[in-house]
Amino acid sequence: MRTQRPLIRSTWAAAGLAVLLTLSACGGSGEDAKKPQKLSETEHNKADVAFASDMIQHHAQALSMVDLTMDRSLDPEVQELADSIRAAQSPEIETMSGWLLQWGEDVPATMRDHVNGGHEGHGDDGDSSMSDSMAGMDADMPGMMSGEDMDALEKASDAEFQDMWLEMMVEHHEGAVEMSETEQGEGRFKPAVDLAGTIIESQSTEIETMEKLLG
């Protein structure tokens, strides 16, 4: 028995040490997984490039939706919201375009570029449409409207336009919030992560406003 007790003790000690090491390793990896991305004022990563590139196109579509409110009869609160979206997102597009140029990346084409490049005057010849300006655009981004969605909004009657616009913009904003949350979790360039936080805050507030307007 004497010869067995030390062996048993050694076996249990070894097993206990193995468990402790395993728990320690698991705990360490869990902590590492929860650590936020180390941010930099100068360095960027692929997530930053993807965020800026995608959000430029996403914002541009929101501005195209705002363009469609022109000459429409809107409630004052909805008109104020449309003006606010334009005032916020146009400068953000400029900021993100500047980052991409600084990083040596291409600034993506947007549907507004296509419109301004000669596709304006939708309906003038009976052939052009909002979906034409989305040719080559990525409609798979969160909250991004399809060409058919944009055509439907453009052709909506005055009676149905406002509610349709609000419903589509809520979905669009929810997509922008989702994209911004990804940037906050994976981005490295602090100004981009900060902008993502601004987008989350401002667009979440606008979502609440729009949902109230929809009743």
Q: What is the pLDDT of residues 146-205, one digit of tens each?
A: 999 999 999 999 999 999 999 999 999 999 999 999 999 999 999 999 999 999 999 999
The model's confidence at residue 112, banded by pLDDT at 50, 70 and 90, is confident
Q: How confident is the model at residue 128 (pLDDT cuts 50, 70, 90)?
A: low
- Comparing CA positions, the residue from 110, 116, 117 lying closest to residue 89 is 110
> Mean pLDDT in the chain?
83
Higher pLDDT, 19 or 195: 195
The CA distance from 181 to 47, in Å, is 11
Amino acid letter, residue 69: T
Confidence of residue 42 (pLDDT cuts 50, 70, 90): very high
Angle at Cα 83 formed by Cα 81 and Cα 88, nearest 5°? 95
Q: Is 45 helix (H, G, I), strand (E, B) or coil?
A: coil
Tell me: pLDDT of 76 over 80: yes
**103 φ, ψ (degrees, to nearest 5):** -85, 0
pLDDT at 119 over 80: no
Q: How confident is the model at residue 145 (pLDDT cuts 50, 70, 90)?
A: very high
pLDDT attached to residue 134? 62
Alpha-carbon distance of 107 to 53, in angstroms, equals 7
State the pLDDT at residue 52.
98
CB atoms within 10 A of CB 134: 25
- Give the mean pLDDT of 60-77: 96
Predicted local distance difference test score (pLDDT) of residue 20: 43
Q: What is the pLDDT of residues 21-39, one digit of tens each?
A: 444 444 444 444 455 679 9
Rounded Cα distance, 206 and 50, in Å? 24
Q: Determine the average pLDDT of the residues in 38-43.
A: 96
- 131 pLDDT exceeds 80? no
**Could you give the angle at the alpha carbon of 166 between the alpha carbons of 163 and 167, nearest 5°?**
85
113 confidence band (pLDDT: 50, 70, 90) = confident
- Whether 6 has a pLDDT exceeding 90, the answer reads no
Closest by CA position to 55, among listed 200, 166, 190, 152: 200
